[in-house]
Structure 1
């Protein structure tokens, strides 16, 4: 049971860390870079990246997978000192998923629904309607939530190691 607990907790920590890296990459590289492009390039590149991120690696491994692994780690650590830290990390991830589904995904979907950038009569209006500043502000919250969740899970690993070393 100790090995299973350790492996699940480690997998949860890693999957949250990978997700945190993805959100952070958008915050400090992707969106600032896209911000320097013309409207058609911005729309086309963002649409392409949004389609590309909907893959098993991100969805299954980081977005939903980290929640499942975190919940499983919590179940496996019931009654242990690391449980409150794991539970807090999972709660932060639930908030992150809520932000994503309530704000970022609808903005992404509206931009995709506008159609191919070359066919748009007014790409500037489509870009303005997307509201990159709003998307970026909420993404920065996702960065903070995911980094905090990662830190909590990392600390839970420390506690897990200390508890198992004593046992």
Structure 2
């Protein structure tokens, strides 16, 4: 496979098709996931913060169940995979490579924060069971460590935004033939 920046499989100039498709996919999926993260940061979690314990636990459990679907999981992990493929196919593509590589590392941070911080907290609140059968909902909410979840969520949202911006800039450079 030719990964030179100067020719594609059709001989039309520019990056090879795989590099262009990987970068386009990385931009789209990173943008979609970052949009979801931003929605949680600026709307969902602030709204849940204002609710009583029963509503918080029940609503959070429902949101957590809903997010585990093929569309979101495919986008979440697909963004990392396509950004990695894009970085690998842009090794000789001039200024695009460092941008895509940095975007990969930033998005890897999103994934690691999710797996290390958020998944265990989400699993704990889900494992608490049906809110109608939980004797101490305030304890379940305290054990969720809402402030910690929100603070780390803001970090992963910022990392996602930065990764997305770097990918867009790399795509712009690639489309201009630089």
Normalised-by-shorter TM-score class: over 0.9
Distance in 2 of aligned mates of 1:133 and 1:11: 33
Q: Which runs of 5+ in 2 are unaligned?
A: 1-7, 9-15
Residues 1:125 and 2:109 aligned together: no
Partner in structure 2 of residue 152 of structure 1? 166
Distance in 2 of aligned mates of 1:125 and 1:4: 51
TM-score by length of 2: 0.88
Q: Which has the higher contact order (CA 8 A, sep 6+)?
A: 1
Residues 1:162 and 2:176 aligned together: yes
Question: Any runs of at least 4 consecutive aligned residues in structure 1 with deviations exceeding 4 A, and if so which?
Answer: none
Q: Which runs of 5+ in 1 are unaligned?
A: none
Larger Rg: 2
SS of equivalent to 2:177: helix
SS of equivalent to 1:79: coil
CA RMSD of aligned residues (A): 1.0
CA shift, 1:3, in A, is 3.2
TM-score by length of 1: 0.94
| Structure with the higher helix share, 1 or 2 | 1
Partner in structure 2 of residue 65 of structure 1? 78
Map Cα deviations across residues 139-167 of structure 1 (whole Å, 9 max, x no partner). Answer: 00011000000000001001111226xxx
Q: 1:15 aligns with which of 2, 7, 29?
A: 29
